[in-house]
Structure 1
Amino acid sequence: MSAKKNLLWFGAVFILVLSVITFVFIPTVGGVSGNTTPVFGKWDGTPIEYAQDTFFVRQIQNLSEQMQNQGQEVNQFTYYQVMQSAFNSAVVRLGILQELESAGYVIPDTLVNKSLVNYYLDSSGKYSSTLFEQTPENIRASRRSTLQEELTAQRYISDIFGKQSGLFGLKTSGKETDFIKTMASPERSFSYIALSTDSYPDSEAVKYGAANSQKFVKYALSAIMTDSEATAKKAASGIAKNEITFEDAVTTYSNRSGTDASGILTRSFAYDLQTLFTESSDLETITTLEPGSISPIVKAGNNFAIVRCDKAASQPDFSDSSVLAAVKTYMKTSEAGIIQDYYMAQGASFAEQARISGFDSAASANRLEKKTTASFAVNYGNSDILSPVPVETNTELSGAVNSENFFTAAFSLEPGAVSDPLLVGSYVIVLQLLEEKAADQQTLEMMPLFYNYYANSWSQDALSSAFLESDKLEDNFMQTYLKYFLN
């Protein structure tokens, strides 16, 4: 999502001063009855309500109108986003007002009165006492109260962020901007091949499985899983006294954590049991059960378990696709280094061949697809301000965005040189430098404007996060939205 869109959804907290304070009619929503008012959360005890003439609702209307003016449809999905953004705005708004109240700041009446004049101007643009007198007292009072809040919040934002040309607020220096400009150049483009570590060969998995066959012994076990030892003891006593069958005890007492509805343990390879039964004595008890026998109470993670051996364990058959899949699953989670080493060796072999016979020739000989990238800068994290690693078109490079090793290797290559293999996310890649060029001159000239915009946006996000992550916030947005608005 672009920073401009982020500013709509998340930076909307700074749309604090509305040129016209509108009194919004709130339509009835599903699930509301009587005098119920949906409360989406609280800031330090102050409710954020979906109620007429609240800041929350005015923000919903304001953001909806912005979307429509930009030609975007306001549907159920986008309305959820609008409401979430408006809720965030309301949270930050309450936080700001509380900060100013703690500081003892009060907006001068003279400033409020001057701003209120805009509501009572005639067609010639002059103040009309007639319009003022014709406005109901409750409307005048509400306008004053709301405008006091608007101007108070505006004071805080002006003091914190200010303007680039003004005295107060955050600023970006010329030297800072010049430094950012140096980061924009040079840009480089590359050819590369990518080896997916998710495509580990079956033959290699079989080798590992055969060398570690004890990990893939398959046990046939059922278990009664309980949250408390007292419940487990009750179940064990009933089974021992033949007052209840194991199957009925599963139905009566088990929370079925890690089992199916009948109590069968769903993950029962030896390596699964090692993870589930962390006490070596408990593990030995379970793995030495005879068919039909029942264990004493053992610990299974956070549960207390009674385990029954349903039949003898089976030795692994690596020609069985389910066993082979289990080997690969285990390796991905517990032996990822072995898989990575395999592909790093493949990548090193390719790189050596490419340096001798050429990148295209090596790719063809190894039946690998050579891909190319657009030019990008050293842009760690893919900041919006610099040309990004093109992860949308080159998905294999998604893991490169936050890899210092990748940028160091990529921007150290000589023209035409081939890199050593690089581990990038779930891929091992080998690069060849295609071209190095300076950043577009027009982009560099616009950099001060771009950077000021993005720096301000980042600062706003930081301020928003400070309030939205505060312990003072009670966030009930999701459950309230689901209850009243998702029909």
Structure 2
Amino acid sequence: MVPFTPISKSRREKRAGRVRHTQNFMETSGKRKSSPENKAQKVSKDSSKPKDSRKSVKKTLVYAFSLAILIIIVVTFIGTPAVSMMAGPGRFVFGRYGNREIVYAQGNFFQRQYQALATQYRDSLGTDNIEAQLRLLWREAFNRAAFHAAVMVAADESGLVVSEDHVDRELAQRPEFQEDGRFSRERFLRMSSAERFSLRNFIRESLVYELYIDDLITGSLENPAELEFVTAMAENERQFSFVTFPFQEFPAENVRAYAEDNADLFRRINLSSITVRTSRAEAENIRTQAVDRVASFEDLARNHSDDRYATQGGERGWVYYYELEPDFADPAALEPVFSLDAGQISPVIETLNGWVIYRVEEPVEPFDLDGSLSVVRQYMDAFERGIIEDTVRARAEEFRAQALADGFSEAASGLGVAPSETAYFPINYGNQQLFRRVSSPSDETFARAAFQTDFFVEAFSLPSDGVSSPIVMGDSVRVLKLQAERTAGEDTLDDVQHAFPRSVQQFQSNQLENAVFDHDRFDDRFNQVYSSNEFQRFLFGG
């Protein structure tokens, strides 16, 4: 959990002296918050902010009910007036954060979150997988309650409290106690003392929760120098031309040369195997039974082998030498296997994970160079990327030299290709939404460059009309030319200045959320409790 940052007494008193209608820390709009029940709505790890339209709700959240389920459940939890929250059975402990239980009970935070979600999505009805949809709704309410519990533990450990006067002021503005726009004592006294106690406790926790989050996230003071620096980052935008040299154009003659030099890697043999992980002695005993035909190799594999081939009697089929090689500290141990005839059983061979016994089903096939070139190419893509990269990079270096001598477009024309262009963008590592994205209208893969430091160093160090050194980007090498440079428009810079504070809040809130849900103090028992007979009876009756 991120530690609580204390605020001054005067600042806290000032906040405690007013009814709070501030923005929840996960919000990025200026919409006014409706009630304490929704304070945790936007901080769940498993959900994102629902869209306004019914279509979007159905697309992003499967929290819908059939009419039958709504009659059984929603009437209980939604149709009941707020002043009678204490009615009905049911108290379930779904987990714990630190010393605080994450409990569902009538009138508490968890129950109100469930009610808020059910109210929000009861118009998005579906008839398929009703139980799965209901479970998702409860899971979301639990996630919010878990986050709430973690914040309350942190607030308690930091000594954060709110005054009873503050609780009174918030309670007096509850809509159920309003009459002609004023607090009605008569309406308030209609509520039982137990219900009033539960409501006061809920409001007190909501205020503490909001103060903690507000102080930690929304209440952070903005640093003008930091905002100025970020704005300056967005000012300088560049556009580039580039030529791409894909790894897939690695010459076929180079693949053939590699295959000729490493023909042993591409030998093929048809094998069955038994893997033993306990001891060499057990492996030798199993091999003896196979050789003496005490039991068939297939039955021994099914009963004793500890690998994925056991259920099929040890049958592995045709395998290449290079596929077996990684299993052995000394690949030379494989050589005797590749010299066996059909039906012969190998000695027990030690592997990196135990011991193995092979039976040859069909002996080694002669290496077919022409028929195996595609296999060799796949092998090189997986295990010899450095050879491919060096070859392609050398070709790109030749192009760069030609471009410096004759011009970028002329050198590209000599290759029979037309240079591509990027959009304008600033230094935007990771393609943050705050800035214009690194992209190319004609090449979607160019966006990967946004995650490479060497790309930005090279690209934003180029002089006017400069040509870059070859840059490896994914499965290709690219050479850039600085095409144009400009200062971002005022609208763009204004957008950055307005968005930056929200980006900081989002980053901080994500860190806070991860600290809660990944913390060792979080004990999640949702699946166990939800699936229990007691809770299922509570949901569906019976």
- The TM-score by the shorter chain falls in which range? 0.7 to 0.9
Aligned partner of 1:331 among 376, 380, 383: 380
Any conservation in 2 of the 1:399–1:426 contact (CA below 8 Å)?
no
Map 1:7-156 to 2 at 5 A.
11=26, 19=35, 21=37, 42-44=96-98, 48=102, 55-56=109-110, 58-59=112-113, 62=116, 87-119=142-174, 120-156=176-212
Aligned partner of 2:465 among 416, 426, 432: 416
Structure 1 residue 245, shift from structure 2 partner: 0.6
Q: Does 206-215 or 53-62 show the bigger shift? A: 53-62
Match of 2:312, SS state, is coil
Map 1:162-311 to 2 at 5 A.
162-163=218-219, 170-229=220-279, 232=283, 235-257=286-308, 261-265=312-316, 268-280=319-331, 282-311=333-362
The residue type paired with residue 249 of structure 1 is L
The residue type paired with residue 234 of structure 2 is A
Any conservation in 2 of the 1:10–1:461 contact (CA below 8 Å)?
no
Compared with structure 1, are the counterparts of its residues 312 and 446 closer, same or farther at alpha carbon in structure 2 (3 Å cutoff)? closer
Structure 1 residue 445, shift from structure 2 partner: 3.5
Structure 1 residue 235, shift from structure 2 partner: 3.3
The residue type paired with residue 318 of structure 1 is L
Any conservation in 2 of the 1:258–1:266 contact (CA below 8 Å)?
no
Listed one character per residue, the Cα deviations across residues 25-56 of structure 1 (whole Å, up to 9, x for unaligned) are 99579xxxxx9999876434766577765645
Compared with structure 1, are the counterparts of its residues 304 and 139 closer, same or farther at alpha carbon in structure 2 (3 Å cutoff)? farther
Any conservation in 1 of the 2:37–2:109 contact (CA below 8 Å)?
no
Match of 1:220, SS state, is strand
The residue type paired with residue 184 of structure 2 is S
Compared with structure 1, are the counterparts of its residues 276 and 372 closer, same or farther at alpha carbon in structure 2 (3 Å cutoff)? same
The separation in 1 between residues aligned to 2:416 and 2:255, in whole angstroms, is: 22
Map 1:337-348 to 2 at 5 A.
337-348=386-397
Structure 2, unaligned stretches of length 5 or more?
1-22, 39-64, 74-88, 537-542
Any conservation in 2 of the 1:396–1:427 contact (CA below 8 Å)?
no
Match of 1:195, SS state, is strand
Any conservation in 2 of the 1:21–1:143 contact (CA below 8 Å)?
no
The separation in 1 between residues aligned to 2:90 and 2:442, in whole angstroms, is: 50
Task: Give the total of aligned pairs.
Answer: 458
The separation in 2 between residues aligned to 1:265 and 1:36, in whole angstroms, is: 55
The separation in 2 between residues aligned to 1:9 and 1:369, in whole angstroms, is: 51
Superposition TM-score, scaled by structure 2 size: 0.72
The residue type paired with residue 164 of structure 2 is D
Compared with structure 1, are the counterparts of its residues 11 and 126 closer, same or farther at alpha carbon in structure 2 (3 Å cutoff)? closer
Structure 1 residue 436, shift from structure 2 partner: 0.2
Compared with structure 1, are the counterparts of its residues 374 and 391 closer, same or farther at alpha carbon in structure 2 (3 Å cutoff)? closer
Any conservation in 1 of the 2:98–2:153 contact (CA below 8 Å)?
no
Aligned residue in 2 for 1:166: none
The separation in 1 between residues aligned to 2:26 and 2:282, in whole angstroms, is: 52
Structure 1 residue 339, shift from structure 2 partner: 0.6
The separation in 2 between residues aligned to 1:260 and 1:359, in whole angstroms, is: 60
Identity of aligned residues (%): 27
Structure 1, unaligned stretches of length 5 or more?
1-7, 30-34, 164-169
Listed one character per residue, the Cα deviations across residues 147-187 of structure 1 (whole Å, up to 9, x for unaligned) are 22211212211332353xxxxxx223111111112211210
Listed one character per residue, the Cα deviations across residues 397-420 of structure 1 (whole Å, up to 9, x for unaligned) are 233112122112211223333322
Aligned residue in 1 for 2:7: none
Aligned residue in 2 for 1:372: 421
The ranges of structure 1 where at least 4 consecutive aligned residues each deviate by more than 6 angstroms after the TM superposition are 35-40, 49-52, 63-69, 75-85, 476-485
Aligned partner of 2:513 among 457, 464, 486: 464
Match of 1:457, SS state, is helix
The separation in 2 between residues aligned to 1:382 and 1:340, in whole angstroms, is: 25
Match of 1:257, SS state, is coil
The separation in 1 between residues aligned to 2:282 and 2:322, in whole angstroms, is: 28
Superposition TM-score, scaled by structure 1 size: 0.79
User: CA RMSD for the aligned pairs?
Assistant: 4.1
The separation in 2 between residues aligned to 1:92 and 1:54, in whole angstroms, is: 14
